Every structure is written in C-alpha cells, then in structure tokens.
Amino acid sequence: MTMNTRQARVVDPVLTSHVRGYRNAAFVAQVLFPRVDVAQRGGRMIEFNRESFRLQNTRRAPGAQTERMQLGYSGRPYALVEERLMAVVPYEVADEARKGPGIDLEKQATEVAFDKILLSIEVEAAQLARATTSYANGHTTALSGSDLWSDPASKPQVVVDDAIETVRKRIGRRPNTMLLSPAAFRALRRHPVIREQFKYTSNKSITTDMLAEYFGVARVVAADGVFLDAAAADDAPAQDIWGKDVILAYVPPKGRTVMEPSFAYTYQLRGTPMVEKGGWNVDRRSWENPVVSEHAPVIVGADAGFLIQNVA
C-alpha cells in the first residue's frame, strides 16, 4: 500500500515493519484464518458454497456466448474492529533517556502491545471456529466415553478419516489443515497406537509433522495459547483458547485473496497493523507509540471445515 502524505506523517515505518513481521508462536489463528487485505472497514463477505467447487462447461461453439463464472457470492455483512494499544517505555527503564528510549526498547514495547492485540484476535477466531453454527450440517461431532482420544482404546484415525471424507464429498477437496488444541495434541502424543506406528522410524517424541504424515493432512498445528478473563483473579487458572477441540479445514495454500474458496479468513484493513508515531508523555514520563490493527476474523466456507469437539 502506498501511504498518502497524512499517513506518512503519523506512521512510524520502522516499528510498523517490525510488528508486521512479528508473530507469537503460541498463537495459531493465522493458520486457520489467513490474512487477506480489504480496502473498506465494512461491507459484505465473499462467501463460498458448493457452487464454488462445481464443474463448469468452458467449451464454446463458434459464435456462441462465452460462459461466465463467479467465485463466491456476496454474503453476510462484516465490520472491521479497531484495536489500539499504547506501547510504553518508561523513563526509568530507558537507556540514555535524554536521547530517547532507543529502537530496541521501542521494538520490545510494541511487541508487548501487539501481543495483546494478537491475543484478542486469537480468542475471537477460536470462538468462531469452535461454534457448531459455523459449520455445514453434518460437519461437527462430539466425542465421549471410550471414543475420547485420551482412552487407549479410541481410534483417532477413524474419526479424522471420517471428517476428511465428509469435507471431500462436500467440496471435492480434502482438508489440508488440522488444528489441535493442547489437550488433543497431548492425547495424540501419548496414544499407544500412534506411538507404535512410529517406534521403528523415529526415537523422537511425536511431532506435528509426524501427525500430519499419520493423518494424511498437509499441515498440523498445535495451539498453546491461554487467556484470562478481564475480571479473573490473579491466581485464577488460565483457560486454553482452543479448549479440547480439533478443527479440520481447507485453507488455500498460496495466493490468498477474498475470491479464493477457503474455510475462513481474517479481513485486515489495508495498511494495518501499524505503529503510529508517538512521543514523550511528560505527565507519565514515558515514551509512547500507539499500535493499531483493524480486522475481523470471518467464516466464509462452512462446507470447507469440520469440528471435532471434546476429544480428550
């Protein structure tokens, strides 16, 4: 995006470049909800149903009209939300305070602030992806009893194979992404059948790459993120953002645009996230830089995902 004169005055290019390249390894929403830039803060989502995967006649007889295609359809409205948090470097911790806090301290402060924003995105995306209403009919299941993957007699591969086949029959493509909650990843790493599968090929602990091979999915990611409610006591236990669920989805591997069929996207306002030029706050005796993001995680292809609840 080319910044106009007003934007160039308010954006810190160095810190903005830093936050755009920054990722928190504990957060995985960007894998299931890849970012696509949008030019407007509100509008209608491009959604995808089975028509997006239907075979179309592209042959043309001499003099005949050319067939037309339309990827997706104008679906539900979306509205981006703005999240803005101040990155603060107090005078007391700034080296050579008279010369400014130094770019390293500013980078660290923007990382801390942006982490808070990323946490908010992660929680919002997980709430969407873990809701049964986000999926087509028949694209969810809940485990119980001896089917729980923490039970040695359970059959995770059967459950996953059935979920993959459900999506494939619906859209003609296999899910290529599998997101594991911490409980799911722990149960699979301990499962005797899976450990037996790899005992002669590797002496390592079961990894996500090994699970991708085992389940026949291109990419498996394990979530680690936790959160505390704003009103939670300091000694309250943190909650796993992704609960005890597993999500299988088709996510386009490259060339992502709002026109490409996918389970979900994060609509991100073009030009964000960014760090605005800040300055010295004499009252707080701190250097401050506002970190800004405008975004909205959205489900755009209910047919392209499958939710397995309560796996352990």
Kindly state whether residue 61 falls inside one of the protein's structural domains. Answer: no
Q: Vertex 139, ends 46 and 251: CA angle to 5°?
A: 45
Whether 60 is covered by a domain: the verdict is no
Any domain includes 160: yes
Residue 295 neighbours by CB distance under 10 Å: 23
CATH number at residue 279: 3.90.1690.10
Give burial (CB, 10 Å; 0-12/13-18/19+) of 237.
Answer: exposed
For the chain, the domain total comes to 1
φ, ψ of residue 266 to 5 degrees: the values are -110, 110
Rounded Cα–Cα distance for residues 211 and 21 (Å): 28
Task: Reply yes or no: is the peptide bond before residue 273 cis, omega within 30 of 0.
Answer: yes
The reply to whether 173 falls in a domain is yes
In a domain, 2, yes or no: no
pLDDT of res. 287: 82
Nearest residue to 36 (alpha-carbon basis) of 269, 223, 207:
269
Domain range for 44 is 12-49+74-309
Angstrom distance (rounded) from CA 250 to CA 164: 10
Q: What is the pLDDT of residue 145?
A: 97
Do 241 and 255 touch, CB atoms closer than 8 A?
no
Q: Is 3 inside a domain boundary?
A: no
Instruction: Give domain status of residue 7, yes or no.
Output: no
> pTM for this one?
0.83
* Per-residue pLDDT of the chain in tens (312 residues, 90 and over written 9): 444 444 444 778 888 887 777 777 789 999 999 999 998 999 888 787 666 655 555 666 676 666 655 566 567 888 999 999 988 888 777 655 445 555 577 888 888 898 999 999 999 999 999 999 999 999 999 999 999 999 999 999 999 999 999 999 998 889 999 999 999 999 999 999 999 999 888 777 899 999 999 999 999 999 999 998 878 888 888 999 999 999 999 998 875 666 678 999 999 999 999 998 888 888 887 888 899 999 999 999 999 999 999 999
Angle between the 208-215 and 156-171 helix axes, to the nearest 10 degrees? 60
